[in-house]
Structure 1
Amino acid sequence: MHRRVAALAVPLTAVTLVVSSCASIPEEWRTPAFLRMNDDALDSRLPEVTGDVGEEPEVTFPDIEPPDEEISGVVSKGSGEDALVGADDLVIANVAQYQWTAPGEGEPVEGQSSYESGAPDLIRMDQMPEYITDTLISQPLGSRAVYVFPALSSEEIAQAEAMGQEAPEGASVLVIDMIDRFSQGAVVPGEQTNDGGGDLPTVTQDGRSQPEIEIPDADAPDELEVVPLIEGGGAEVEEGQQIIVQYTGVRWEADEDGNHEVFDSSWNQGGIPFDTTIGGGAVIQGWDEGIVGQNVGDRLMLIVPGDMAYGESEEEAMGAPAGTLVFVVDVLGAFDNAPPPEPEESEEDAEDDGADEEASEGDEGADEEAGESEEDSE
């Protein structure tokens, strides 16, 4: 698998963009106003955020100057007390960013809202800075957190501009709605109704453990085989979505000792769920074709022939496993990806468009003159 570094698709704030290379937020910003997750009181300087969690928030900015220190708090606590966010969770969240520009004034940052894009963010809690996770950990799902980050200093503005980034005006405000979570060791619910067998591998799995895959003494199939072991009742996985899975993979062909050792597995990473875009070439063809069209909640056995796996070139160059591969995949979740940004029109394209319009107008004028001339001759 190709593992990407998971982080917020929406930049947390301009602060993180500028000072990310400096390890952390300056110590003078970390004051008692930075509210911990279990505090009951909220800092009165936080913007008022209304609307249901899971829907685009309405943000009202206080009639004061934006604070010169970082503040945060949970402004709406979810009801899922039995599903508290953990420090190692993969959290599905909607994220929106705003700029607080003056007393009582602020505006959304264009293009920085997962509500606008229709695609939630995947937040790996163990990869996020503490000034974000401290407010989220141990909160129930359905909670809404708000962060305010001070305006950039002149030095930070210069750093941002040197990096080719546009320095924002005023304080940055971030709203995070936590809508789902996937913990270490997550598996799909239900009992296996099929374990394969016969001329196909046999799969056994005990609860939240890595599955055992027994390869039969038979030739591998020539075509992709998709065998549901647990049939989930969730939505159908669509091409281009972000999927979250647990998986294990072994080679059909035994090694020189006669074993079929696991070559790749999310369970070998502590059972941390893996996420990727499906159906677009981010993973092997056997996954793209075998998982698209299946359902969230499925446990699948994928038997992938070599030409739909890594192929000879990657096997030789990268040491990828050769030949037919067998995977057991738990499809934990599937979420829409944000559409790719539309390419900006260059000055040359704009000039060409203008020239085309002028030519078109000229042709129309010539047609009209021709029509008038014909009428005169009649």
Structure 2
Amino acid sequence: MRKASALIITAGLVMTALTACAGPGTAQASCDAGAPSGAASKLVSVTGDFGAVPDISFPTPLKSSTTQRTEIIAGSGPQVVPGQMVSVESNLYNGTTGEPLQLSAFDGSTAVEFGLGDATNPGFVAGLVCARVGERIAVVIAPDDGIGVNDQLRVSATDSLVLVVDIVKAFLPRADGADQAVANGLPAVVLDADGTPGIVLPSGDVPKALEFGVLKKGTGEKVASDATVVIHYTGLLWASDKVFESTWATRTPRVVPLSDLPQGLATAISGQTVGSQLVVVVPPALGFGPAAQGQVPAGSTLVYSVDILGIN
């Protein structure tokens, strides 16, 4: 195949494809289930330094019935775990034709965030879990683990994909701050072993104003009012005690500007530190207001448990 230059192509289309194909349970695999090295992934030749445009070649057609990965440059950072949000620079190719589907600049300007959970392509998840921050890897994604038939990208049902990835950063998988006491009257948050929260409403009247408490106090960077944050959260309707939204359901954190969150939730997160966990009660005026939105009825009081995993 021809060697690629640092041209960015069809990035939005590829990102959509990589985050729309996984089935339930993908991110629950342990690190022992991460993709092994194999004959196909060892055929991908990659030279160049981490953080610089790689020189990539491989024979075509390159096919594999299993997803494989081979370490190109060792990383010394934390190990990536299932369900974690990572920031990567990557080149993606059609293994049959050698044609590039997406090329990155590998200079930080084209880094993309992925949650390695149930909402992300299973081949991508298997290729990255258990690798380390600072690592460069070559992954050959089997057709059954890939993006399926995609006419726009000219990918057929039998095409393997070749992915070369620099793992630039990994965000916290869950809040890791020190436990804090909170005021009486706030909802309680009970955590499963993996950090999934359950919200328990107190008896008494519905709060009329914004109320929040810090359940865990992190030691990371402070969140500015105009920040884009990486968060895990569950949202509950006070009136019905029903969850209306949860990133924990797919084990895929969300990267979001504070300005895109309900005002009350954004206010509570602003000024907090990475690694913190909050419980937040948002009155209708600071939530979705008098209009219904999705599963949220008009005039709803909202309750959130939110883990602040990082600042993007």
Please classify the TM superposition score into its range, dividing by the shorter chain length: 0.5 to 0.7
SS of the residue corresponding to residue 312 of structure 1 reads coil
The amino acid of 2:88's aligned partner reads N
Match of 2:258 in 1: 279
Native 8 Å contact 1:114 1:121 kept in 2:
no
Partner of 2:164: 175
Does the CA contact (< 8 Å) of 2:41 and 2:138 recur in 1? no
TM-score by length of 1: 0.55
CA displacement 1:192-216 (0-9 Å, x = unmatched)? 2x2221xx42535356453443435
The answer to whether the aligner puts 1:74 opposite 2:76 as a matched pair is no
Alignment of 1:198-213 (within 5 A): 200-205=185-190, 208=195, 210-213=197-200
Residues 249-260 of structure 1 aligned to structure 2 (within 5 Å): 249-251=236-238, 253=239
Cα gap change, 1:113/1:290 in structure 2, threshold over 3 Å: closer, same or farther? farther
Tell me which amino acid in the other structure corresponds to 1:85.
V
Q: What CA distance in whole angstroms lies between the structure 1 residues aligned with 2:124 and 2:247?
A: 27
Tell whether the 8 Å contact from 2:236 to 2:304 is kept in structure 1 after alignment.
yes
**Structure having the larger proportion of residues in helix:** 1
CA contact (8 A) 2:74 2:136 kept: yes
Cα displacement (A) at 1:300: 1.7
Instruction: Quote the Cα distance in structure 1 between the aligned partners of 2:11 and 2:102.
Output: 14
Residues 123/12 of structure 1: CA separation in 2 closer, same or farther (3 Å cut): farther
Could you list the runs of 5+ residues in structure 1 that have no partner in the other structure?
1-7, 22-35, 101-105, 150-158, 256-260, 336-378
Q: Distance in 2 between matches of 1:98 and 1:210?
A: 36
Determine the structure 2 residue equivalent to 1:191: 179
Task: Confirm or deny that 1:85 pairs with 2:71.
Answer: no
Query: Which one of 234, 241, 247 corresponds to residue 220 of structure 2?
Result: 234
Aligned to 1:245: 232
CA RMSD between the two structures? 4.6
Task: Provide the residue aligned with 2:301 in structure 1.
Answer: 324
Higher relative contact order (CA 8 A, sep 6+): 2
- Could you tell me how far 1:180 is from its partner in structure 2? 1.7
Secondary structure of 1:132's match? Answer: helix
Question: How many residues are aligned here?
Answer: 271
Residue 314 of structure 1, aligned match among 292, 303, 308: 292
CA distance in structure 1 between the aligned counterparts of 2:129 and 2:247, rounded to whole angstroms: 23
Matched, 1:124 2:116: yes
Alpha-carbon spacing, 1:299–1:268, altered in 2? closer, same or farther (3 Å): closer
Q: Say if 1:209 and 1:219 are closer, same or farther in 2 by CA, change over 3 A.
A: closer
Structure 2: tracts of 5 or more residues without a match: 1-9, 22-33, 142-149
Q: 2:88 aligns with which of 84, 94, 106?
A: 94
| Pairwise CA distance, 1:322 | 3.6
Is the 1:299–1:331 contact (alpha carbons within 8 Å) kept by the matching residues of 2? yes
Structure with higher Rg: it is 1
SS in 2 for 1:311: coil
Amino acid in the other structure paired with 2:265: W
Contact 1:295 1:331 survives alignment (8 Å): yes
The CA deviation at 1:99 is 7.7
The aligned runs of 1:1-378 (5 Å cut-off) are 12=14, 37-39=35-37, 45-52=43-50, 56-61=51-56, 66-70=59-63, 73-79=70-76, 83=79, 85-86=81-82, 89-97=83-91, 112-113=104-105, 115-117=107-109, 119-147=111-139, 163=152, 174-178=163-167, 179-180=169-170, 186-192=174-180, 194-197=181-184, 200-205=185-190, 208=195, 210-218=197-205, 220-222=207-209, 224-238=210-224, 239=226, 241-251=228-238, 253=239, 261-264=241-244, 266=246, 269=249, 272-281=251-260, 283-314=261-292, 319-320=296-297, 322-335=299-312
Q: Amino acid of the residue matched to residue 277 of structure 1?
A: V
What is the TM-score normalised by the length of structure 2? 0.64
The one-letter amino acid paired with 2:300 is G
Would the aligned equivalents of 2:228 and 2:256 in 1 still touch at CA under 8 Å?
A: yes
